[in-house]
Chains A and B, each alone.
Chain A
Amino acid sequence: QKEVEQNSGPLSVPEGAIASLNCTYSDRVSQSFFWYRQYSGKSPELIMSIYSNGDKEDGRFTAQLNKASQYVSLLIRDSQPSDSATYLCAVNILDSGAGSYQLTFGKGTKLSVIP
């Protein structure tokens, strides 16, 4: 079964520190990777996408992808209390039954930034 795995947390970091969120996936041929942020009681919001090996930076967020090791990570620099949320990793995985790629979500890592 094709899967996306995340540590459920909670991950607690002090304000101003770097938060590191990790995700592993099982499908070697996946090509598209996303990070979503979900605040409590709200719907998920797309914050990062990455398609190539290496790092992609957007403001305080950096996504890292290593296809050989099948992991993708999200770093949040200078963490703020407003970053406290659940972060969902999503990977496009081939659904052989449907014959198409489906975005598969991990269960999410809850991040708490302590003031």
Chain B
Amino acid sequence: GAVVSQHPSWVICKSGTSVKIECRSLDFQATTMFWYRQFPKQSLMLMATSNEGSKATYEQGVEKDKFLINHASLTLSTLTVTSAHPEDSSFYICSARGFGRDEQYFGPGTRLTVT
């Protein structure tokens, strides 16, 4: 149980374009989903927290107009990187938490390369 999927697993896009990443909880309802970014050899960095049906809460320094998060249902959250630039190239990982639970389950991640 507690499986989280992400799509796509990797994506290459040109500078200035937008990319959407999907995160789905497959066998539980995720009341809260989290988006992380991880650069090579660095630790996880929380970008934002989203509760189903509510606006996402962004961490300090994360541009909410650049990283659009939608959590429209209890099983799906999306992250859209708008006007992507090479410095946005990173490993984006979502995680999900069920109602009344403390643990988070991570998706497999999406590797974004902006050329």
- A residues at B contact (CB < 8 Å): 31-32, 34, 36, 41-46, 49, 88, 90, 92, 98, 101-103, 105, 107-108
The distance from the CB of A43 to the nearest CB of chain B, in whole angstroms, is 4
Q: Mark B80-115, 1 if CB is under 8 A from A, else 0.
A: 000000000001010101000011111111000000
Cα separation A101 to B57 with both chains bound (whole Å): 14
Cα separation A65 to B91 with both chains bound (whole Å): 32
- State whether the Cβ of B54 lies closer than 8 Å to any Cβ in chain A: no
- B residues at A contact (CB < 8 Å): 2, 43-44, 49, 57, 91, 93, 95, 97, 102-109
Cα separation A42 to B102 with both chains bound (whole Å): 22
In the complex, are the beta carbons of B102 and A92 less than 8 A apart?
yes
In the complex, are the beta carbons of A98 and B106 less than 8 A apart?
no
In the complex, are the beta carbons of B108 and A43 less than 8 A apart?
yes
Write the chain B residue with the least CB distance to A6: B43
In the complex, are the beta carbons of B43 and A44 less than 8 A apart?
no
List 13 contacting pairs A-B, 8 Å CB cutoff, sorted by A. A32-B103, A43-B107, A44-B93, A44-B106, A45-B106, A46-B2, A46-B104, A46-B105, A49-B102, A88-B44, A101-B102, A102-B49, A105-B43
A98 CB contact (under 8 Å) in B57, B91, B105, B109? B57
In the complex, are the beta carbons of A32 and B102 less than 8 A apart?
yes
In the complex, are the beta carbons of A43 and B43 less than 8 A apart?
no
Contacts A32-B103, A92-B102 hold; do A42 and B43 have CB atoms under 8 A apart? no
In the complex, are the beta carbons of B43 and A108 less than 8 A apart?
yes
- Residues from chain B with a CB closer than 8 A to the CB of A107 are 43
Cα separation A99 to B57 with both chains bound (whole Å): 13
